[in-house]
Amino acid sequence: MTVLHLADEGEAADLAAFLSRLIHYDRAAAVRVQAAGTALAVFGRPASFEVLAIRAVRLAKPYEHGLDVSLDVTVSAGELLEAVHESAATAAVPVAVTGPPWAGVLPPRTGWRAEPGLPAPERLRALVAAAVGEFRSRTEELAPEQRTRFELDRVGREIWSRTVGGTQLTVRAVHAAQSLGFLRPSTAPGGDPAPAEAPPSLFSSGAWLRLRTPYGSIALRRAGLGTLGVSVR
């Protein structure tokens, strides 16, 4: 069995938290795991968000397993979570599963360029809160006979497909980042200011947009750009 040695307990805890959040939305979630050198990337698709979530994890030493110097496998998110040993900072890689369609099409590794117009973190969180409030109020105003899945989905699509600031990033993508713990508040739980860190940034590569934060990234395909920039591997 392949065992990954993570850089420290904090990296193990962050990986476990990411996997737990994915499973919260889909108990049968799968993740694609890639390791090379001292970098581990875990890709997941949180149910209902229609985006890819990417959690980068540091390894304690360059990956190698026998003659293999890289790892690329799709596994059960739940089984990987069970295999994370936080105090030992290790994670045993479960047996491979047949991956969902999204796992065969990942964002490109290179060619990213910075995109302007992304609002400040506080504004991003406010946009998500306003969208959640609007969805709740609009659906509560519907008559019982109108509160169908079709109508709820229609209202949701209208709200979550809106773009943020002067960018093509959707509110849905920002909501996913916040729900997965990638977009964190600027104050610590006790009310003290959180440690200074790099603000979220936005990048594009072909048809892809990527919202990057210190805790993980959200990637999505822009509509109408075909398959430009797709990486199948």
DSSP string of the chain?
A: --EEEBSSHHHHHHHHHHHHHHHHH-TT-EEEEEEETTEEEEEE--TTT-SEEEEEEEBSS---BTTB-EEEEEEEHHHHHHTEETTTTEEEPPPP----GGGG-B--SS--EE-S-PPPHHHHHHHHHHHHHHHHHHHHTS-GGG--HHHHHHHHHHHHTPBPTTSS-BHHHHHHHHHTTSS--SB-TTSSBPPP-PPPEEEEETTEEEEEETTEEEEEEPTTSTTTT-B--
Question: Taking the CA atoms of the chain, what radius of gyration do you get in angstroms?
Answer: 19
User: What residues contact residue 129 under an 8 Å CB cut-off, 6+ apart?
Assistant: none
Q: What is the pTM assigned to this prediction?
A: 0.88
Q: Is residue 221, in this structure, part of any structural domain at all? A: no
Q: Is residue 109, in this structure, part of any structural domain at all? A: no
Cβ-contact 19, 77 below 8 angstroms: yes
Final residue belonging to a domain, choices 104, 130, 150: 104
pLDDT at 70: 95
Q: Are residues 130 and 166 in the same domain?
A: yes
> Which residue type occupies 99?
G
Nearest Cα residue to 130 out of 173, 150, 159:
159
What span, in angstroms and rounded, lies between the C-alpha atoms of 11 and 29?
21
Q: 180 is in which domain, residue-wise?
A: 117-200
> Which residue type occupies 172?
R
User: What residues contact residue 226 under an 8 Å CB cut-off, 6+ apart?
Assistant: 207
Q: Is residue 225, in this structure, part of any structural domain at all? A: no
- pLDDT < 50 stretches in the chain: 225-233
Final residue belonging to a domain, choices 82, 104, 126: 104
Q: Are residues 132 and 39 in the same domain?
A: no
> Which residue type occupies 174?
V
Q: Is residue 229, in this structure, part of any structural domain at all? A: no
Number of folded domains that form the chain:
2
pLDDT at 228: 38
Q: Are residues 127 and 177 in the same domain?
A: yes
What span, in angstroms and rounded, lies between the C-alpha atoms of 199 and 85?
30
Final residue belonging to a domain, choices 56, 76, 104: 104
pLDDT at 67: 81
Q: Are residues 84 and 164 in the same domain?
A: no
Q: CATH no. for residue 97?
A: 3.10.150
> 68 forms bridges with which residues in the sheet?
65
